[in-house]
Structure 1
Amino acid sequence: MKEQFIATLHANSLPELQGVPKSDLHNHAGRGGNLKYIEAWANTKIAPPDKPFDSLSHMQQWFQNNVKCHCPGVPGYLKRIEASFVQARHDNIAVLALNFGLDEVDALGGVASFTAIMDELHRQYAPEAAFFPELSFGRECPIEPALLSRLDEVLSYRWFKSIDICNDELAQPIRNFKPIYRQAKAAGLILKAHVGEFGSADDVMEAVYELELHEVHHGIAAASSARIMNWLADHRIRLNICPTSNVMLKVADSYAAHPIRKLYDHGVPVTINTDDLLIFNQSVSQEYLNLYQAGTMTAEELNAVRESGLKYIGS
């Protein structure tokens, strides 16, 4: 597949690129589908955002007003999850990590019901993809005994394969989540967190150290510190990077200037992912093509990144 992938990049052929196996390791499940799929189901037209967002809250508002409003209630939510699996099949995603919150679990009647529904959607729409569900907590959530007890119950099903923290990086200190991550580690989960998207390089290192992370979602702020990039490289901490998300949220100036170049040159393991495809409107294949066409990375380098993602720690 190496030669095929490199040749398709050289040819700038998106259809052929879609036929090559890839991973998507940073994908918020309810936002991981294709806009055209939702348009067809909702019988409406949804124009993708035409300029970068001013903040995460601005992005969330756009999603609510332009996509989620067409997918009401549980049926709409399930259609968006279905869209994520359909997209994975269409883009030949061989390794798929989808991110879910406890509110989504509760909306479908609890862990047993939720996991059965998700497994069936996986079976129906993307059975060839190795599926690694991820449990996510908002950075703003209070770490209380009731939450830790609930986590014990959720983890007892042994369905989730990894854990994550998302949303506002500045909502509370990362160390507050140590009790959650201790439980997750004891249960054998892969430990991840959103960090270094808007924060600093020091924030990335602190999160990895305090929570004993295996991977970081985003983490591109690490590119501002050679010391921390070298530390991440030495400890083989992988960054799951989402180029279009970074450009659209103004944490990267462009594809050509994206920090993935600097991180890769320092030996930091990286993967290329979608984040919120229903918002950013770029598939994994398109993300590879964007970086190649911008001259950010060579076809050979991008193939090395692709191969790295297929060797997912959980598989």
Structure 2
Amino acid sequence: MTFEAALASHDRDALVAWPKSELHTHASLGGSRSFVRERTGIDIVPLDRVLASMDEMHDWVSANRVGEAFPGAAGRMLAIEATFVQARADGVTRLEAGEDVWALTLWDGDALGLTAAMRAIHQRVAPDIEWIAQLGLSRHCPIDALMRWAEPLLETGAYQSLDLYADEMAQPIGVFKPVYKAARDKGLRLKAHVGEWGTADDVWQAVEELGLDEVQHGIAAAQSPAVMRFLADHRIRLNICPTSNVMLGRVESIAKHPIRTLFDAGVIVTVNTDDVLVFGSSVSEEFIRLHQAGVFSAAELNQIRLNGLTDPVVAR
């Protein structure tokens, strides 16, 4: 059965057989629910209501014992293992995920040890998946700490991308230029969460100031034809998480998601999960939801699927 036929019939099992990417997931929350339950005894039940803020999401994470499931260095490696298990079960063949640079403190500064532990999990659990090893940065952390943690990890030569996340308003985007320059010098693709809570202008500013190759979310760009044209002309890909955007109250419904507006404007988009343990939707299910809601045809969703299997060349 073709991808388009499987999608038209909303056959999740058939969709799993088709290669897909997952380019926007957080390994601390991106794992298989059944695997986590089996290994920890904690059943993380996905959200069943729309939240109004990231603070509410953090409260939900705490109330649902997520921190108890993944304590310390070993717990974070278990979370990463769960993310590989989830990707393998969903037929993901290209996975971009990794660890927050802050986690180096749990390894007593041993960048090689942390990196080797993640590589070993990849080889043991899902060696056939193309793993794009990512370093994560929290906007809440001071830049000197981020640089101190990131530098030894960058020196390993093992990482391929850099992402910035957490509260978009925590610090001005320009604060993070030093760590982005260091990552660019090491050949990493540069990403950042922007335009989920902020504005279209915030998306443009982040791309220009940090030299981004991709944007995580970026849905606010749909508010500005000029910003969409900028993204399309420069081939800046947006890695979008539809269900997450709905459950965090950023868009009214899947049917009204701005991914359609972005796609029609020529912006390169992909479909992703954000946090499977929180939002309860796999990549395959995200495709089905978009099709069921009439946002895209099966052929259009197949093109979006293909968008994630290779990286676009950014037009600088």
TM range (shorter): over 0.9
Structure 1 counterpart of 2:120: 120
The alignment partner of 1:117 has SS state of helix
Q: Rate the CA distance shift 1:74–1:212 in 2: closer, same or farther, 3 A.
A: closer
The alignment partner of 1:232 has SS state of helix
Per-residue displacement from partner, 1:234-271 (whole Å, max 9, x unpaired)?
11000000011101111111110001000000000001
1:27/1:99 contact within 8 Å kept:
no
Give, in whole Å, the separation in 1 of the partners of 2:124 and 2:151: 29
Runs (5+) with no aligned partner, structure 2: none
Give, in whole Å, the separation in 2 of the partners of 1:227 and 1:311: 26
Structure 1 counterpart of 2:137: 137
The alignment partner of 2:171 has SS state of coil
Q: Rate the CA distance shift 1:164–1:10 in 2: closer, same or farther, 3 A.
A: same
Structure 2 counterpart of 1:285: 284
Structure 2 counterpart of 1:15: 13
2:161/2:189 contact within 8 Å kept:
yes
Q: How does 1:123-202 map to 2 (within 5 A)?
A: 123-144=123-144, 147-202=146-201
Identity of aligned residues (%): 45
For these two proteins, the number of residue pairs brought into alignment is: 311
Deviation at residue 149 of structure 1 after TM alignment: 4.6
Give, in whole Å, the separation in 2 of the partners of 1:74 and 1:100: 11
Structure 2 counterpart of 1:31: 29
Structure 2 counterpart of 1:111: 111
Runs (5+) with no aligned partner, structure 1: none
- Check if 1:262 corresponds to 2:261: yes
The letter for the 1-side match of 2:283 is V
2:101/2:153 contact within 8 Å kept:
no
Q: Is the deviation greater in 80-89 or in 32-41?
A: 32-41
The alignment partner of 2:24 has SS state of strand
2:22/2:283 contact within 8 Å kept:
yes
Deviation at residue 103 of structure 1 after TM alignment: 2.3
Deviation at residue 82 of structure 1 after TM alignment: 1.1
Give, in whole Å, the separation in 1 of the partners of 2:150 and 2:38: 37
Deviation at residue 112 of structure 1 after TM alignment: 0.8
Q: Rate the CA distance shift 1:260–1:107 in 2: closer, same or farther, 3 A.
A: same
The alignment partner of 2:270 has SS state of strand
Give, in whole Å, the separation in 2 of the partners of 1:139 and 1:85: 26
Structure 2 counterpart of 1:63: 61
The alignment partner of 1:50 has SS state of coil
2:190/2:213 contact within 8 Å kept:
yes
Deviation at residue 313 of structure 1 after TM alignment: 5.1
Give, in whole Å, the separation in 2 of the partners of 1:25 and 1:250: 22
- Check if 1:217 corresponds to 2:193: no
Structure 2 counterpart of 1:242: 241
The alignment partner of 2:60 has SS state of helix
Give, in whole Å, the separation in 1 of the partners of 2:146 and 2:78: 28
1:185/1:191 contact within 8 Å kept:
yes
What is the root-mean-square deviation of aligned Cα atoms in Å? 1.6
Q: How does 1:226-237 map to 2 (within 5 A)?
A: 226-237=225-236
